[in-house]
Amino acid sequence: MASGSLPSEWVRLNVGGKVFMTTRSTLCRYSNSFLCRLCQDDPALPTFKDETGAYLIDRDPEYFSPVLNYLRHGKLCYDQGVSLEAILEEAEFYNLESLVMLVKQRLKDGDSAEEGRDMVYRILPCRETELTMMLSTMSRGWKVEQVLTVNQSYSQAYTQAQHDSEFLIIVSQEGRQLQSPFAGQSDKLSKTT
């Protein structure tokens, strides 16, 4: 074997300018996939190589990485911010039916880093004397959307103590986890009297 050349089991892929190295057995995990046909030099599939001998594939390397990892260990793993729809497009391009089905199921179930998450909103009543404490003890994941003053007639406001105004705090949280908006408290919120 010449210096700098790979053993015949190893394959170099140049995907969108980024070089990936893997084995033929990994690429041929699914025999009728584009990648298996590519590394077996299928005559019906025209191929081009760069100056290093890497197969040239004009696709986005960011979305190829989860495809290659799926071929390596059979699990779909991807970085936050990577679109499942884009991975689906790649799985279809590479003719990986099992990955196509898996991604479609994840999209259907809403198991995406970017989509499928519900927004949970809560409206929390409080008095002016409690407002600062409630805002400063907001737990991680909760975002204050708006603070509203509860409308009172002029005569009611005049007769109440000066620092006894009522407010509504509107908070939101992305995701399915329902937890208290206040650090260290249970999910049961008591109404201020």
Give me the mean pLDDT over the 114-130 stretch.
74
Residue reference for tokens 């089905």: 101
pTM above 0.85, yes or no: no
Span 46-67, mean pLDDT?
91
Render 48-73 in DSSP notation, one character per residue.
-B-TTSPEEE-S-HHHHHHHHHHHHH
Q: Is 109 left (phi over 0), alpha (psi -120 to 50) or beta?
A: alpha
Percent of the chain surpassing pLDDT 90: 35
User: Which residues touch 28 (CB under 8 Å, ≥6 apart)?
Assistant: 35, 36, 39, 40
Where do runs of H (alpha helix) occur along 34-150? 34-39, 61-73, 84-93, 97-109, 128-136
pLDDT tops 80 at residue 182 = no
Minimum mean pLDDT range among 57-61, 117-121, 140-144, 181-185: 181-185
Q: What is the mean pLDDT of residues 2-9?
A: 59
